[in-house]
Amino acid sequence: MRFLIKVAAVAVAVWVTTMIIPGIQVTGGLRNYLIVALVLALINATLGTVLKILTLPLAFLSLGFSLLVVNTAMLLITDRLSTNMTISGFWSAFFGAILISIISSIITQITTKTV
């Protein structure tokens, strides 16, 4: 149940991000946003976890900035794996990753307290 809530929160976050960041687009409707969110969630759960553990010393030294780069890389990998999403460049992915993280965290916090 929590996984489905997180995927839905990421789908909403991706939708809001495509409205704000001009370099990120998802073609199609709700189904494609859910697919992109699922791909992003699976990449973050597998590869993202490994990369965050491997870059932990660097995260300490950079005060967490390297984690933003890891999140950006996860979003760019999602772009490569998903035919529904296009990202125009690194900076679009960078700011998109920040926005998706913030929005999905807020939505997840709100929905898991009520469920």
The per-residue pLDDT for range 7-32, each reduced to its tens digit, is 999 999 999 999 999 999 999 889 99
The pLDDT of residue 3: 86
Residues 6+ apart with CB under 8 A from 51: 70, 73, 74
CB 114: neighbour CB atoms within 10 A?
5
| 62 pLDDT higher than 60 | yes
Q: Print the domain residue range for 87.
A: 2-114
- Work out the mean pLDDT of the chain and round it to a whole number: 92
Q: Which residue has the tokens 């489905």?
A: 4
Task: Identify the pLDDT of residue 40.
Answer: 94
Q: What's the whole-model pTM score?
A: 0.89
pLDDT at 58 over 60: yes
Residue 58 sits at φ, ψ, to 5 deg, of -65, -35
Eight-state DSSP code of residue 24: E
Q: What's the mean pLDDT in 54-83?
A: 92
- DSSP H stretches of helix in 21-115: 30-43, 49-54, 56-61, 65-81, 90-114
Q: What is the pLDDT of residue 111?
A: 87
Domain count for the chain: 1
Indicate if the pLDDT at residue 102 is higher than 60: yes
